[in-house]
Amino acid sequence: MKLSGSQEDYLKTIWYLEREHKRATAKSVADACGVRPPTVLSMFRILAQRELITYNKTEGACLTGKGEQTARKLVRKHRLIETFLEQVLQMDGGILHDEAEKLEHVVSDQLMHRIDAYLGFPEKDPHGSPIPLLTEDNNTVPLHQVNEERTFIIKDITLTHNLREYYEKNEFIRGSVWTMSARAPDQSSFLLSNGRRYIAISAEVAKAILVTVKS
């Protein structure tokens, strides 16, 4: 079931508090969201039922792996949107945050991948805040080391401009999700799928691409 914008905002608030090494108590989240603690506790129960957080009075709310990934994606969208609005639409910096707050809940993951590529994969937003990757998983390896039927997220691509342009046209961009469908017996080529299309990658190209294998 899709999360509401309000539920996503709560996850994002907890994510920010965790990054500041602060406890996401009902009071601290209520102060950040401008609501009363009983309202926060009610939302905590909903998020816990959906296995997005754990909660107890002592530690406060803590994001689960699923919740952390959801919040991270939302922050990533927000900061990419701000960057797009400033660099491409040349909107005033004073309204970037408010506009991004509205758009982050409705834009698709695929659109954000394309915006990221269009912007040249920026590392920081207009305020200097880092744009997080889709995952902090440390299981990062060259593409040619990925086993068959494993799903991975593209983390970095080191190729010539022409090659990068070719792969971008085929949706093969940083942050996109693919699966290793088949490997040639001599490891000279690899067949990948993103659920909509297939693409063949040579061994030389595969060694120039870093990916994070999903657990």
Contact criterion met (CB below 8 Å) for 185 and 171: no
> What pLDDT does residue 211 have?
87
Of residues 135 and 100, the one with the higher pLDDT is 100
Assigned CATH for 5-63 = 1.10.10.10
Q: What is the pLDDT of residues 193-215, one digit of tens each?
A: 999 999 999 999 998 888 888 76
**Class in CATH terms, 140-213:** mainly beta
pTM of structure: 0.63
Would you tell me the crossing angle of helices 37-49 and 5-19 to the nearest 10 degrees?
100
> What pLDDT does residue 41 have?
95
Phi/psi-derived region of residue 56, left when phi > 0, alpha when psi is between -120 and 50, beta in every other case: beta
Q: What is the pLDDT of residues 41-74, one digit of tens each?
A: 999 999 999 999 999 887 789 888 889 889 999 9
> What pLDDT does residue 136 have?
59
DSSP 76-135: HHHHHHHHHHHHTS---GGGHHHHHHHHTTTS-HHHHHHHHHHTT--SB-TTS-B---S-
Domain locations in the chain as residue ranges: 5-63, 72-118, 140-213
> What pLDDT does residue 138 have?
52
Contact criterion met (CB below 8 Å) for 22 and 28: yes
Rg (CA), the chain: 19
Assess whether the region 5-63 and the region 72-118 belong to the same CATH fold: no
Tokens representing 20? 């500041």
> What pLDDT does residue 139 have?
67
Tokens representing 102? 């509205």
> What pLDDT does residue 213 have?
85
**Class in CATH terms, 72-118:** mainly alpha
Q: What is the pLDDT of residues 102-159, one digit of tens each?
A: 999 998 888 888 888 888 888 889 999 988 877 655 567 889 989 999 999 888 788 8
> What pLDDT does residue 81 have?
95
